[in-house]
Amino acid sequence: MQYVNLEEIQLIEIPKITAPDGRGNLSVVEKDVLPYQIKRVYYLYDVPSDSTRGGHAHRELQQFLIAVSGSFSVVLDNGKDRKTFLLNRPNKGLLIPSGVWRELENFSAGAVCLSLVSEEYDEEDYIREYADFKSVKRS
Ligand code: TYD
């Protein structure tokens, strides 16, 4: 599994269209924002503030996360280093490449995590044990 440089992972700005007369904003993820075609969309909500989600890596799946409401933190781990991102704006997203361990935590009340992913759901694509992730990374 390829080494992923966490320094190259940054929040990506999603274009925002502001209605001219105070009627709010609209953000759109269009095809050139992501390096893959979206195969599936799902969202996390009603997550208790003391819960951690994620806790796995994917062999192939790439994922774009957006805090469409509220906020949460995403800790990324490439097997060597860790980097934490705060997602708290609906017009910023985090693109997580394959082969990265992720943990989502510190969900605010009402937080909604929208997830735009590159693959169908496939349990075989998950690495759910951190020790397995480390050994896949070493090999
Ligand atoms: P999981 O991907 O482990 O969630 P998270 O990373 O948010 O903590 O999925 C949680 C559960 O939901 C797990 O039992 C698998 C199931 N699941 C599906 O059935 N279909 C899906 O598309 C997803 C993403 C998860």
Residue 10 has pLDDT above 90, yes or no: yes
For 81-97, how does the pLDDT look when each residue is reduced to its tens digit (9 = 90+)? Answer: 999 999 999 999 999 99
Residue nearest to atom 22 of ligand 1 (CA): 121
Would you state the pLDDT for residue 114? 98
| % of residues, the chain, pLDDT over 70 | 100
Kind and range of the H or E run holding 109: none
Would you state the pLDDT for residue 31? 80
Task: Round to whole Å and give the CA distance between 100 and 75.
Answer: 10
Task: Give the active site residues.
Answer: 56
CATH code of the domain made up of 6-138: 2.60.120.10
- Span from the CA of 42 to the centroid of ligand 1 (angstroms): 9
Residue 25 has pLDDT above 90, yes or no: yes
Residue nearest to atom 14 of ligand 1 (CA): 123
Measured in degrees and rounded to the nearest 5, phi and psi for residue 130 equal: -60, -35
Q: Is residue 25 within 8 Å of residue 18, measured between CB atoms?
A: yes
Task: Round to whole Å and give the CA distance between 40 and 116.
Answer: 6
Would you state the pLDDT for residue 2? 87
Task: Round to whole Å and give the CA distance between 85 and 94.
Answer: 8
What is the band of 55 on the pLDDT scale with cuts at 50, 70, 90? very high
Question: Max CA-CA distance within the chain?
Answer: 57
- Span from the CA of 22 to the centroid of ligand 1 (angstroms): 38
The mean pLDDT value for 98-102 works out to 98
CB within 6 Å of ligand 1 — which residues?
42, 44, 53-54, 121
Would you state the pLDDT for residue 47? 98
Which ligand 1 atom is the nearest neighbour of the CA of 56?
6
The mean pLDDT value for 39-48 works out to 98
The mean pLDDT value for 100-107 works out to 98
pTM attached to this predicted model: 0.96
Residue 32 has pLDDT above 90, yes or no: no
Q: Is residue 20 within 8 Å of residue 59, measured between CB atoms?
A: no
